[in-house]
Structures are given as C-alpha cells and as structure tokens.
Amino acid sequence: MGLAGIPKPPRLVRRVLPVVWPVGAAALTGLATPVIVAGAFASFVDKKARLFRVSVLGVGLMWVDVRMLMDCWRLQLGNPERTAPAWEDDHEEVFLAGLNRAMILARRWVGFEVRLDGRMHFGNEGAPLVAFARHAGPGDSIALAWLLGHTAGRMPKIVLAEALRWDPMVDTLLTQMRSYFVPSRTGAGDDRVAGVRSLARGLKDDDVLLLFPEGQNFSPDRRRRLIDRMREAGQELRARRAISLFNTLPPKTKGVVAVLDERPDADVMIVGHAGFGRLSTPREVWDAIPFTDRPFLVRTHTYAAGDVPDDAPEIEAWLDERWTEIDEWVTAYEQ
C-alpha cells in the first residue's frame, strides 16, 4: 500500500500524540537498552557491529525527533498567539538544527556521508528555486533537505505524504513551515495538486521547493510493476520509456507542471544522487552497513527560469530528458 494509502490520524489522535510521544520515547529507550547491550556483545562476532550501530542510531534519531517537538512547544509557550514576525523563521531554525543533528548521528554511527559531484549552483539571487530530485535509497529525503538547507542557504519547502502526520514532530513543525501534506488516496474529492500550487505560490526568494517527481522510492520490483501496469493500460510509449530507465522510475509530471505553471519565474534544479539507489530492501540496507565505502553522491544541474519550457507537453518531454540523463549518470557511477 505504501505511505500514499495511509490516512492521516484523526483530529483527537493528533492532539494526543504530541503529549504521549516523549513518554513513549522514554519507554522505547528502556526497551532498546538490552538490544544495544546485545549488539555490543554481538560485535565480537559481527565485526561490522551492525546491530549495535543501528540500535544506537535509532534511539539517537528518536530523541532528535523529541527534541524538535519540545523546541516547538518552547516557541508556542513564548508566543501563544503565534503572531511574532519571526514565528516561521524560528521554526525553520529548529528544522535545520534537527536535520544537522540527524546527519551527524548518521555519519557517526553508520558512515552515511553526503558528497558532491561537481559544484552546486543555487539559482539567481532574488529568484525562487524549485528542485526536482531522484527518489531512491534510505534517507534520501532527509539528506537532500539537509544539503539544500545548509549548503544552498535556502529553506526547503517540502511535499510529503499525509501519513507522516503520525509523527507528532513532523505534524507540528512542518505544518508551521507551510509544508504540503499530500492527501492519502483514501481521501475522497481531494485535489492533490492544489496544495502543491499553493506551496509554490508562497515561495520566498530564499526558499527552495523540494519535489520528488517519481512519487516513490525506486526499486526493481516497483519498476517492473509500473511497466506492467502501463502495458495493461495500453500506454506502450510510456512503457518503452520506463524500460530504458534502469535506476529511476519515469517521473510523474502533473505536480511538476503545476509548480512551473504557478512559478514561471523560478529557477529549476535537477538533483540526481547515486550510491544508495539499489538498497531497496531492509536486508540490502542491513548488509551494506556501515556505509563507509559508499558515499551518498549528489549531482545537480540548475536551469535559469527562461531556459525551462512553459508548455505542459514540452515540460513533460524536458523532464523525461533530464531523468534519462540522471539514469545514465547513475548507471555509469554504479557499474
């Protein structure tokens, strides 16, 4: 079913979750302590110390999440009316600090390290930026949001599944940052593009809208199922295009067209990454830990607003060409 099929928590549950989550995190930490100890002893057998690394990282990330939630409470207590001029900026600082803590933990405990293949160009100063990124491998959303926030100096505005509201920190913090939660497929009558348009419309000059046109993480099984569905629907041209992509899924263009139609003044960054895309199952991720010899390599190319098509069919063809380039680059890197 995936995240897209999971509905958001009911209103009452959303009110209760932030209160019980810190207590639940403390209980989970207690339950995880024997696992951490067992992992430490198991490292005498498993020289990669995977159980120890993963259990410590899991507890660490959980408390990063709790701290971000508590920082949101602190901001709300300091400004109950939520009218301070810096209200959104303060939440953005909490978001960036939390991302940084998470990336430090990931690098320390499992060797997850982001590297750049070439220079990044962040668009023209004074112009908004949208980033269309490949979606594959564990942690790519967090890594790319961190990279754009800390390296590009632009605040990521994110489109994410509404199911993630079950995390009270995500629900509390990212709502205050004007992120867009895509309604689940179970939601009747929801315009799944209207929110993307609204997010694009509200972009400031120092923002970047981060969108994953594939809609879901790449995996060989998803690629095969997608090709089969295209053929069953008589979409032979799209199926042939999907067959030519070995490391990516064909990009969905509805959201991309909506964003570019709403913000024709935005520069466009195409983001590819390599190194983790073939880790599509828990077993593959487990076997690859630690990632000390497997950097998360990022390659970007930024196009000025005037160089991007503004007609829907031309945008679709242009995006397909960019995804073919990403696929070829990933193939060359991972051979």
Q: How many angstroms separate the CA atoms of 50 and 60, rounded? A: 15
Instruction: Assess whether the previous peptide bond of 80 is cis (omega < 30° from 0).
Output: no
Domain boundaries, the chain: 3-334
pTM to 2 decimal places:
0.89
> What's the confidence (pLDDT) of residue 2?
57
**For residues 300 and 117, is the Cβ–Cβ distance under 8 A?**
no
Q: Are strands 296-303 and 207-211 parallel, antiparallel or unpaired?
A: unpaired
Handedness of CA 330, 331, 333, 334 (dihedral sign): positive
Q: What is the per-residue pLDDT across 111-132, written as a single tens digit (0 to 9) for each?
A: 999 999 988 888 888 788 999 9
Hey, which bits of the chain come out as E strands?
A: 114-116, 129-133, 155-161, 180-182, 207-211, 267-274, 296-303
Q: How many angstroms separate the CA atoms of 263 and 193, rounded? A: 14
> What's the confidence (pLDDT) of residue 84?
67
* 243 Cβ neighbours under 8 A, 6+ residues apart: 227
Nearest to 158 by CA among 126, 196, 128: 196
Q: How many angstroms separate the CA atoms of 194 and 229, rounded? A: 26
Q: DSSP assignment, residue 155?
A: E
The fold of the 3-334 domain, in CATH, is Glycerol-3-phosphate (1)-acyltransferase (3.40.1130)
CA 178 to chain centre: 16
For residue 210, list its beta bridge partners. 131, 158
> What's the confidence (pLDDT) of residue 16?
94
> What's the confidence (pLDDT) of residue 4?
64
- Neighbouring C-alpha atoms within 13 Å toward the C-beta of 34: 2
Given a cut of 50, the residues of the chain with pLDDT beneath it are 1, 186, 188-189
Nearest to 68 by CA among 169, 175, 176, 179: 169
Q: What is the per-residue pLDDT across 210-258, written as a single tens digit (0 to 9) for each?
A: 999 988 888 888 888 888 888 888 888 878 888 888 899 988 888 999 9
> What's the confidence (pLDDT) of residue 188?
42
> What's the confidence (pLDDT) of residue 20?
96
